[in-house]
Structure 1
Amino acid sequence: MKKMLLLGAACLLSIGAGAAHSSKRTANAVERGHALFEYHCASCHGPGIGNPGHPWRTGTEALQVKYRGELPALLAERKDLTPETVAYFVRNGVSIMAPYRKTEISDADLAALGAYLSRNNPDFAKK
């Protein structure tokens, strides 16, 4: 009986350690994703002034027009993005945004980018 209790306690400790490791891994993915966003995406989708006479950068301005204020134009402020949505648009492109090949953004980097852009999504945070 004592052996079973010790085994059960060991299992619970390992589950807790796994959850902590998973949380750290997620935090690392978000941090890596933020760096990738700054490198690949922010020039079009980041904050700041765009071309002369335009109040936003190109991608942000396009989303401002598309969503008419119903959703944030800045991707980093969105609360509805999922890693799958991010992956779809990165791999397929949309409008004037060209798709990114796996040689440009690897699947692992794309997962990190998805983790960063979905970090504000309350439904994704529950998973």
Structure 2
Amino acid sequence: MDDTSNTRFQYTAENLTKALEETRTIVKLFRRSPLKNITLQKYVKEEFGRELNLILDVKIRWNSMLQMTHRFLKLKNAIKKALIDLEMSRLWDDKNVVILEKIYQILQPTKLSVETLSRKDSTLLT
């Protein structure tokens, strides 16, 4: 029974890693190419009225992953449209969006807790 739960955890960890790597690939694609970023920003401006750039996380900082996933999820419709225009829609996977939403849901309360505990006037009771 212990082997089954361990296998399930490895499967989940692999999915998380794969989703994050594919997300980083898409972010790098738009950050490194001004022409591709122009295509993305066209759709971002339509949706939000101003330019918003994608954020690439730093692997050793958990809160940068939170920022990256938040911005990616916010711009997911524009990203999907831009990838279609660039004929790179094969990079898009809807399963990764679901995984990113779960990661964001887990990291958001963690961020709030860390920020609260980091204040000078905080105690474990508060």
Q: With structure 2 as the length reference, what TM-score do the two structures score?
A: 0.38
| Higher CA-based Rg | 1
Higher relative contact order (CA 8 A, sep 6+): 1
Q: Which has the higher helix share?
A: 2
